[in-house]
Amino acid sequence: VGVQSQGDQTAQSGGESSTAGGSGESAGTAKAWYALPDTELPARKSAIKQFNQNSAHTVEGADISDMQKKTTSAIPAGQGPQTFEWAHDLAGDYMERGFIVDQGDKLNVSLDEFTDAAAEAAQYDGNVVGLPHTAETVALLYNKELVDEAPQTVADMKAVMEEHHDPSNNKYGLGMPFADPYFLSAWAHAFGGYYFDHTKEEQLGVAKPETVKGVQFAVDNFVPYMPNDPTYEPQASAFAEGNAAFAINGPWYLSTLNEKGVDYGIAKLPKPEGGDPSPFTGITLWYFSKKMGEGGPSAAAARAFAEWYVTNEELLLKNAEETGNIPVLKSLAESGDLPENVQGFAEAVQQGYPMPAHPKMNKVWDPVKAALTKGFNGKDVPKAMETAAEEIRGNWE
């Protein structure tokens, strides 16, 4: 007795036929991990399908719910994927822990094909640890129904916020996840400050006057116009429901906005007086995980996939349109015919400052976050930043 699902038949036969026409290499199977919102999942799945159909190799994609935790536990245990997708800032830490490996000498793609920032982000300590495909950063979003034109300076923006801010009627000036150092980085950097820079003599910049000034500036100019909760969700909700004039947020936010039906515009961040906003940018990489170090067909498969993915203009462009991700492939990034959505973010990227990938950065985030929370709640900013700096130094020991 045999039972067979009729629908499956075609899929199976289709899958097998593709193995026939491959290159000289033996065909391998690689696991690729990613963590995507489910709006972006279908596109990813079809991309993988496309790859599998056109290549001798097979890639098995998996959407992971908590990437950092999963990779931290799975990779050292030999259970991890060949490649996984994440922002470049993990590179230092993971490299030191031996979670990712250098594949520079085996690549068929030159890093020159990418924007400088992206090429730099793909390397750590001279090792090529992954291939970059998109950049992301935060930009200014404005509600077109409330705001006619994107403000150029913070002072302009403040005037508009003043006009719209009215919490008792559920109206706000701005929605920005204040307590997140990433979102606040533009302002912390605006007057020459920095959180951490391992190239500088004083690596920790958290308590430096320039940084404190930037944070203080944000506290003074933005906090009064924001909902009272500095975390992501409520801040995002205010703008997404049309209740805030501005938002400072990244491309991942666009799907929410589209779903809610807000009419928004994207622009680069406004200038503060005497400074320049400079947000952290993140470059998303297909990392080369420890497993690839073992070589063999599966590593080849992963490499082939990453190479295919990051150089596939059609795919990247489609991605850009659908999700607002900024391509880092030079041919696209510099072509100028990016979709309007992406344009705003692309400009913001120009303002940006790549996140440090040094492992020490790991221990910076949480204390700064605590300090920002304090600042948001009206505590003394310099003192909070000083405390954070102390804690970071303590943790570094």
Partner 1 sequence: MSTASRVARRVEEVPFLDKSDVSLLFVLPGLFVFSAFMLFPVLYLLGISFTNAAPANLFAGEGALSVLTFGEAAFVGLENYARVLFGGTFDLVLFGETLLTLPINGQFWNSFGVTWLFVATSVTLKITLSLAIALVVTGERVRGKRFMRSFIILPMGLPAIFTITVWRGIFSSAEFGLANQVLAMLGLETVSWLSNRWMAFVAYNVTEAWLAYPFMVIITVSALQDVPDELHEAAMVDGAGYVARFFHVTLPSIKKPVLFASILTAAASFQQFLIPFVFNEGGPARQNELIVVYGYREALSFSQYGRGAAISLIAVVFIGAFMWLNVKRGRLADGVNEA
Partner 2 sequence: MSLFDGVGRKVKEDARDVVSAPLEVARDAAYTVEGVRNGEISPAEPLKTAGATLGALVGVLLLLFPIYWILIAALSGTGGSIYSSSGLKLFPESPSLVPFLWVVGDLIIPAYSISLNIPSSDIAIVFNTPQVVFLDVSALKPGTIGRIAFGSAELFPGFGVQPIENPSTFKKFFWNSLTVAIPTVIISLCLVVPAAYALSRREFIFRRKILFVYVLMTQVGSGLGIALLIGLYTVYVQFGINDNKLALAVYYAATAVPFNTWLLKTYMDGIPVSYEEAAVVDGAPPWRVVTEVIIPLSAAGLATVFIFTFLTGWTEFVVAQTLLGTENYTLPVGLFSLISEYSIPWARFSAFALTFAAPIMLVYLFAQRYIEGGLSFSGMEG
**Interacting residues with partner 2 (CB under 8 A):** 1-7, 35-39, 41-42, 62-66, 69-70, 73, 77-79, 170, 172, 227, 232-234, 236-238, 240-241, 243-244, 250, 252-253, 255-256, 259-261
Please, which residues bridge with residue 230 across strands?
A: none
Q: Which residue is listed with tokens 């038949």? A: 9
67 near partner 1, judged by CB under 8 A:
no
Residue 15 binds what, of partner 1, partner 2, none (CB under 5 to 8 Å, by partner type)? none
DSSP 204: B
Candidate list 18, 146, 370, 383; residue touching partner 1; CB under 8 A: 370
> What is the Cα–Cα distance from 119 to 131, expressed in whole angstroms?
8
Q: 174: buried, middle or exposed (CB in 10 Å: 19+, 13-18, 0-12)?
A: buried
**Taking the complex as a whole, how short is the minimal distance between the CB of residue 40 and partner 2, in angstroms?**
8
Question: CB–CB of 105/132 below 8 Å?
Answer: no
Classify 359 as helix, strand or coil: helix
Residue 97 binds what, of partner 2, partner 1, none (CB under 5 to 8 Å, by partner type)? partner 1
Residue 230 binds what, of partner 2, partner 1, none (CB under 5 to 8 Å, by partner type)? partner 1
Candidate list 77, 108, 336, 340; residue touching partner 1; CB under 8 A: 77
> What is the Cα–Cα distance from 89 to 122, expressed in whole angstroms?
10
**Taking the complex as a whole, how short is the minimal distance between the CB of residue 189 and partner 1, in angstroms?**
24
> What is the Cα–Cα distance from 375 to 387, expressed in whole angstroms?
12
> What is the Cα–Cα distance from 327 to 322, expressed in whole angstroms?
12
> What is the Cα–Cα distance from 297 to 57, expressed in whole angstroms?
8
Nearer to partner 1, 29 or 362 (CB): 362
Residue 373 binds what, of partner 2, partner 1, none (CB under 5 to 8 Å, by partner type)? partner 1
> What is the Cα–Cα distance from 285 to 95, expressed in whole angstroms?
14
Looking at this protein, which amino acid is placed at residue 115? T
**Taking the complex as a whole, how short is the minimal distance between the CB of residue 42 and partner 1, in angstroms?**
24
> What is the Cα–Cα distance from 145 to 36, expressed in whole angstroms?
30
Residues 129 to 168: which contact partner 1 by CB under 8 A?
167
Binding residues for partner 1, per CB under 8 A? 69, 72, 76-78, 96-98, 167, 170, 227-231, 233-234, 237-238, 363, 366, 370, 373-374, 376-377, 387, 395
